[in-house]
């Protein structure tokens, strides 16, 4: 009886090269935006070392931008950290889903948890099976982690060399990249309603609340929209 073997270049019916290509595309594209974060962090008063440590230890772009944005606006560090924390809680829900999908060994889970972010989750969930999901998660996480940390330090060092980032218009780089990362996620009516309400709350309360607090209030947009949606017949 002839033995049937799986082709080594295939991952459960999908070429390894296709999984790696997609993962690297996401990792490189998003990883390069670390330049913008480094510039924004330097503009908010952080040193290149502090910006690098933030990317190394936190490693979730949206929360990092929220933190340095609040600091740049003169917000209290604790308030800024609270806003970044609430924005980053979505990664906990990603982790619950990826834990079932990837089924990694127990020893690998603490290290993999640091890479549970929007991009690694999206690439993993797009795969047809567990083996390709693991490969996509690993390649995306590795490429993004290396590039994000490298470009953060380079961006911060460049901003320090330039001096006044606002004079060059570089202070707008962070918000621009943040919106660019957010826009592709607003596919459904619910997501757009949450984004619109958060925008109204954040901008509307900006003149009345201390820096950092409008972000926390804007976070209430999601439960408010979901509650209203649940009440509709």
**What pLDDT was estimated at residue 11?**
46
For the cut 60, the answer to whether the pLDDT of residue 219 exceeds it is yes
Helices (H), 114-168: 118-125, 130-162
84-107 burial, b at 16+ Cβ within 10 Å, e below that, comes to: bebbbebbeebeeebeebbebeee
Does the global pTM surpass 0.75?
no
For the cut 70, the answer to whether the pLDDT of residue 140 exceeds it is yes
- Per-residue pLDDT band for 146 (boundaries 50, 70, 90) equals very high
First to last CA, the chain: 61
- Digit-coded pLDDT (tens) for 38-48: 888 888 888 99
- Digit-coded pLDDT (tens) for 113-133: 999 998 899 899 989 999 999
Helices (H), the chain: 16-31, 34-43, 48-57, 61-72, 77-88, 90-102, 109-113, 118-125, 130-162, 173-182, 189-205, 213-218, 221-231
For the cut 70, the answer to whether the pLDDT of residue 184 exceeds it is no
């Amino acid at each position: 009886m002839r033995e049937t073997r799986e082709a080594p270049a295939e991952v459960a019916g999908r070429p390894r090269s296709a999984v790696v290509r997609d993962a690297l595309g996401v990792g490189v594209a998003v990883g390069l935006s670390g330049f913008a974060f480094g510039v924004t962090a330097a503009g908010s008063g952080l040193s290149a070392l502090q910006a690098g440590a933030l990317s190394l230890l936190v490693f979730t772009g949206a929360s990092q931008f929220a933190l340095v944005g609040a600091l740049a606006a003169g917000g209290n560090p604790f308030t800024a950290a609270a806003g970044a924390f609430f924005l980053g809680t979505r990664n906990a829900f990603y982790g619950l889903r990826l834990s079932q999908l990837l089924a990694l060994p127990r020893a690998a889970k603490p290290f993999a948890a640091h890479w549970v972010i929007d991009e690694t989750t999206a690439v993993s969930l797009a795969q047809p099976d567990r083996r390709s999901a693991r490969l996509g998660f690993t390649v995306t996480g590795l490429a993004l982690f290396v590039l994000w940390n490298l470009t953060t330090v380079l961006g911060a060092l460049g901003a320090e060399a330039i001096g006044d980032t606002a004079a060059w218009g570089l202070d707008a780089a962070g918000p621009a990249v943040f919106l660019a990362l957010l826009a592709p996620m607003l596919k459904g009516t619910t997501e757009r309603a949450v984004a619109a309400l958060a925008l109204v709350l954040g901008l509307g309360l900006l003149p009345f609340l201390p820096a950092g607090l409008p972000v926390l209030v804007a976070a209430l947009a999601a439960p408010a929209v979901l509650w209203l949606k649940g009440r509709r017949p």
